[in-house]
Amino acid sequence: MHRLEECRFCHILAGQQFNGSVDKPIDVCDDYISMASIGALIEGWSLVVPREHCLSLRDHYKSSTFFQFVQSNVQNVERQYGPAIIFEHGANHHGSLTSCGTDHAHLHIVPQPFPINAMLENSGISGWQKIPASQIQSAAHDAEYLFLSTSPLSNDPIGFFKIVDTPTSQFFRHAIAATLGKTATADYKQHPHLDVSTRTGERLRRAA
């Protein structure tokens, strides 16, 4: 069952907290909130979440409201933790393996103390295309996709894009974990790293 009432992010958006202050918003606007990510392998790892329940951000990448909010949160992360990347695993159905344990769409913001090319090699996937975010909707249509950009402050970030052939759970975090030598604790369900997430939320809320 993957019904809306069971969506963890929808409950968090309604003010519920499952992991203490980790589930408190860092920043809010009319259409989006940001919050610390559970299972953060790196302090500063946070998420931008649309208030409206949807499965991917493919319809948001042409919205200036979306990018204004993303940029303001990326700036906050970068002031505290240094240069960041953004990525999304765009699912297309409830219960998809491509989403990382929640069906509710979200953009990851991750400080980047790791080489992206090595990470993409570690991902085991080749054939990445480079496209601007505004083209994701037309490039993906209804398919599931992965998108990662190292230009998170752009109004139309160019990034690595790939249609998903074989859905993989927590795809980018496994690739990041492999690059950081943290494969053993990559699965956030078994290693939620709540201490790191709590510190992330506290520091970014103070600075927001």
Q: How far apart are CA 79 and CA 57, in angstroms?
A: 25
Nearer to Zn ion among residue 10 and residue 74 (C-beta): 10
| 53 scored as a contact of Zn ion (CB under 5 A) | yes
* Residue 104 found at the interface with Zn ion (CB under 5 A): yes
Tokens of 95: 């219960």
Residue nearest to Zn ion (CB): 7
What values do phi and psi take at 115, rounded to 5?
Answer: -75, 125
The window from 26-34, 52-60, 110-118, 180-188 that contacts Zn ion (CB under 5 A) reads 52-60
Please state, in angstroms and rounded to a whole number, the distance separating the CA atoms of residues 14 and 22.
15
Among 175, 172, 160, 165, CA closest to 144 = 165
Residue 10 or 70 with smaller CB distance to Zn ion: 10
Residue 42 contacts Zn ion per CB under 5 A: no
Our finding on whether 173 is near Zn ion (CB under 5 A) is no
Q: Do residues 66 and 60 lie in contact, with contact meaning Cβ atoms separated by under 8 Å?
A: yes
CB-nearer residue toward Zn ion: 155 or 168 = 168
Stretch binding Zn ion (CB under 5 A), from 8-16, 118-126, 161-169, 192-200 = 8-16
How many residues sit in the footprint of Zn ion (CB under 5 A)?
6
* Interaction of residue 7 with Zn ion, rule CB under 5 A: yes
Only one of the segments 78-86, 96-104, 141-149, 183-191 lies at the binding site for Zn ion (rule: CB under 5 A); that segment is 96-104
Q: Which of 3-11, 68-76, 134-142, 190-198 is the region at the interface with Zn ion (rule: CB under 5 A)?
A: 3-11
Give the CA dihedral 16, 87, 98, 204, nearest 10 degrees. Answer: -20
On the CB side of 133, CA atoms within 13 Å amount to: 29
Q: Does 140 bind Zn ion (CB under 5 A)?
A: no
Choice from 9, 67, 171, 188 touching Zn ion (CB under 5 A): 9
Distance, in Å, from the CA atom of 38 to the CA atom of 46, rounded to the nearest integer, reads 8
Question: Residue 140: what residue type?
Answer: A
User: What is the number of other CB atoms lying within 10 angstroms of the CB of residue 104?
Assistant: 22
Residues that bind Zn ion (CB under 5 A): 7, 9-10, 53, 100, 104
